[in-house]
A and B are shown apart, each in its own frame.
Chain A
Amino acid sequence: MATKSLHKRESNLANSNKQLEILSNGIFQSGELPTFKNKIAETNQFPLKAKKLEVLQINVGYMCNQVCEHCHVDAGPDRKEIMTRETMLQCLEVIKNTGAHTLDLTGGAPEMNPDFRWFVEEAAKAGIKDFIVRSNLTIIRANKKYHDLPEFFKKFNIHVVSSMPHWTRGKTDKQRGDGVFDKSIKALQELNEVGYGMPNSNLRLDLVYNPSGAFLPGDQTSMQKDFKKALKDDFDIEFHNLFAITNLPISRFLDYLIASENYEDYMYALVEAYNPVAVSNVMCTNTISVSWDGYLYDCDFNQMLELPVNSKIKHISNYNEELLEGRDIVISQHCYGCTAGAGSSCQGVVA
């Protein structure tokens, strides 16, 4: 288990250009595997175009209390990129006027941004239909000042989406760090206590599963069944839906794939599982991702690869939904991660 981000370790792979180089060279350069561009062109899906905006995803900072092995953000306690109140104010202007039905706050651990609560309170006033906070669960137990988060989420009717790689301690702690499993279980129980995740409750609690290694997620419906049974039987925990998300070969997960000599096999697996139906519903076609410093991206992954939107509008301060619609999505080989099997997005499968 890593304790420092790639940035802190000054790893080669902390450099997004280096990652993009790896994703374009080797098996993709030699033609052994088709590039994502050529693959989607086979079914006349190139260029991939943005449709009507539905999801506004805001990354409020890369700081996190955990250093997960697979993290595509390279988040950790040593990351200092944090959204300022000034940028938040610019975001709020957009939130008030957006046509998007979903507002999705992510990080890092979004709760660690010092202005997080203020931002949630202000953003909630806009009355967006689905207001998601992606919480890593352990933050609720990390420090006394976070203990009341379940009540806070409830007050603003936040839809909580949390990571939970497995229903067993071993697999969870291996991916996310020692002690993460027990803290996550405790946090889930506390969320249940205030009403989150209970059957027929309007307080939505969904879990995110992503594989703890160089393999693809299994069928989302069967995984959900297994998770529900195990968490209910072992810990009396309830939740609503499970989103199975594929790990994309960037940042720390790419570093792991290369170090464990799984990179080529993993890319083969992604390309073999390519599903053209998933392409038409990939999240970048209905999402805008805003970075901690207010720049706009097609998705959180492109944000980490520093691939900005292909549009005249680059920053939240001159945001214009109409101008962003219909833009060409910026792609590379990491995109195969969202089109494998039943597809993958921040909301789980797409096909």
Chain B
Amino acid sequence: MQKTYYDPADLKKFGKISDWNKELGDKFFEYYGKVFEEGALSAREKSLIALAVAHAIQCPYCIDAYSGDGLQRGITKEEMMEALHVAAAIRGGASLVHGVQMMNKVNKLEM
């Protein structure tokens, strides 16, 4: 058993999840592939969304994958970092917007 939870080499083995449930695994990868195809959004835009989401959910595999994917698509460092700030803003905002709930509660309880 490996001594760490994450091993970069495991990313390459992602496809193996189908070994234990072929039907659902195959369906997932088919869906995944379809999602990232050129559509109303370009594949490039989707790659940046994926990169931002990867940071929001803090998935090291996804960060690894979509940093490389962005470079392949000619996405610049500046574009990548801006996308991350969108994720960070939404995460930060998600905490702070609950401040309204806090304020409501405090206002209700306080005389």
Binding site for B on A (CB under 8 A): 166-168, 170-171, 209, 211, 213, 215-219, 222-223, 226-227, 268, 272
With contact pairs A222-B42, A222-B44 given, residues A168 and B76 touching in the complex (Cβ less than 8 Å):
yes
CB atoms of B68 and A226 under 8 A apart: no
B12 within 8 A of partner (CB): yes
Interface residues of B in 1-41 (CB under 8 A from A): 12, 38
CB atoms of A218 and B73 under 8 A apart: yes
B101 within 8 A of partner (CB): no
| A217 to B71 Cα, complex, angstroms | 8
**A211 surroundings in chain B (CB, below 8 A):** 71-72
CB atoms of B73 and A222 under 8 A apart: yes
From B12, B71, B73, B76, A213 is in contact (CB under 8 Å) with: B71
Q: Which residue of B lies closest to A221 (CB)?
A: B38
CB atoms of A215 and B72 under 8 A apart: yes
**A223 surroundings in chain B (CB, below 8 A):** 73-74
**A218 surroundings in chain B (CB, below 8 A):** 72-74
Q: Which residue of A lies closest to B72 (CB)?
A: A218
Min CB distance, B58 to chain A, in Å? Answer: 22
Min CB distance, B71 to chain A, in Å? Answer: 5
| A167 to B71 Cα, complex, angstroms | 13
B43 within 8 A of partner (CB): yes
**A209 surroundings in chain B (CB, below 8 A):** 74
CB atoms of A268 and B12 under 8 A apart: yes
Min CB distance, B25 to chain A, in Å? Answer: 18
Contacts A211-B72, A213-B71, A222-B44 aside, 6 further interface pairs with beta carbons under 8 A come to A166-B76, A170-B77, A171-B76, A215-B71, A216-B72, A272-B12
| A158 to B93 Cα, complex, angstroms | 58
CB atoms of B74 and A226 under 8 A apart: yes
| A217 to B73 Cα, complex, angstroms | 7
